[in-house]
A and B are shown apart, each in its own frame.
Chain A
Amino acid sequence: DAMVIQNPRYQVTQFGKPVTLSCSQTLNHNVMYWYQQKSSQAPKLLFHYYDKDFNNEADTPDNFQSRRPNTSFCFLDIRSPGLGDAAMYLCATSGTRQLANEKLFFGSGTQLSVL
């Protein structure tokens, strides 16, 4: 059974049209992450929530926002998608960020295309 669920699997949006990607988890994990992965590149951390505490990476553009209304759900909002934002967006969870060997649990990702 999927423990981290991302919807939709594929998303097509238009240049400049706001889009929201969703992630839910049944693990009751404290930490939820959003990664952006472009072809042949490393997953790049955009931000994460530790409970309700939002932690933005310094180089994440303002165009990317996130919401976590409760423990189970987390959303990635792209306010004005550009062609360069086409990528796989991966949601992940972990029980805590206080352990060095903490395992990440990934969702299956949302592949975003921008036309």
Chain B
Amino acid sequence: RKEVEQDPGPFNVPEGATVAFNCTYSNSASQSFFWYRQDCRKEPKLLMSVYSSGNEDGRFTAQLNRASQYISLLIRDSKLSDSATYLCVVTLNTGGFKTIFGAGTRLFVKA
């Protein structure tokens, strides 16, 4: 089983739609959680951290469910510029923290 699993998509949505991605992680000792965004042939960039209490940044809302070991990302009012791959990321303490990436979920927002 992969350490971080995501639905690869692609998700094809019209502009203005709300879309949600889920991610599951296998190691209950995972410490921190993030969503990164990656554009085609570019490097990943941090979108937001994910906290147990849930957090929001503009149109983006992230949730963490430690009991069920999943993380979610909700994007409201989708823009064309939101088209990208969204990577779910966790950190593990292996005597120094190690960052584990999911393979990503592809999103296409259409006009």
The residue of chain A having its C-beta at the shortest distance from the C-beta of B44 within the complex is A106
What is the interface size of chain B, counting residues whose CB is below 8 A from a CB of the partner?
A: 23
Determine the chain B residues whose CB is within 8 A of the CB of A45 once the complex forms.
98-99
Determine the chain B residues whose CB is within 8 A of the CB of A44 once the complex forms.
101
Determine the chain B residues whose CB is within 8 A of the CB of A90 once the complex forms.
43-44
Q: Is the CB of A88 within 8 A of B104?
A: no
Q: How far is the CA of A45 from the CA of B100 in the complex (A)?
A: 8
Majority SS at the chain A contact face:
loop
Q: Is the CB of A101 within 8 A of B103?
A: no
Contact of A101 among B43, B44, B91 (CB under 8 A): B91
* Chain A residues proximal to chain B, CB less than 8 Å: 33, 35, 40-45, 50, 55, 88, 90, 97-104, 106-109, 111
16 more contacts with CB within 8 A, not counting A33-B99, A101-B32, are: A40-B103, A42-B87, A43-B101, A55-B96, A97-B98, A98-B97, A99-B97, A101-B49, A101-B91, A102-B97, A104-B46, A106-B44, A106-B45, A108-B43, A109-B42, A111-B41
Give the distance to chain B from A88, nearest Cβ to Cβ, in Å: 7
State whether the Cβ of B65 lies closer than 8 Å to any Cβ in chain A: no
Give the distance to chain A from B81, nearest Cβ to Cβ, in Å: 19
Q: How far is the CA of A55 from the CA of B100 in the complex (A)?
A: 15
Q: Is the CB of B8 within 8 A of A40?
A: yes
Give the distance to chain A from B10, nearest Cβ to Cβ, in Å: 10
Q: How far is the CA of A35 from the CA of B43 in the complex (A)?
A: 11
13 of the cross-chain contacts (CB-CB < 8 Å) are A35-B101, A42-B87, A42-B103, A42-B104, A97-B96, A99-B97, A100-B97, A103-B46, A104-B44, A106-B43, A106-B45, A108-B43, A109-B43
Q: Is the CB of A41 within 8 A of B103?
A: yes
* Given A40-B8, A42-B4, A42-B101, A98 contacting B41 (CB threshold 8 A): no
Q: Would you list which residues of chain B between 82 and 107 have a CB under 8 Å from chain A?
A: 87, 91, 93, 96-104
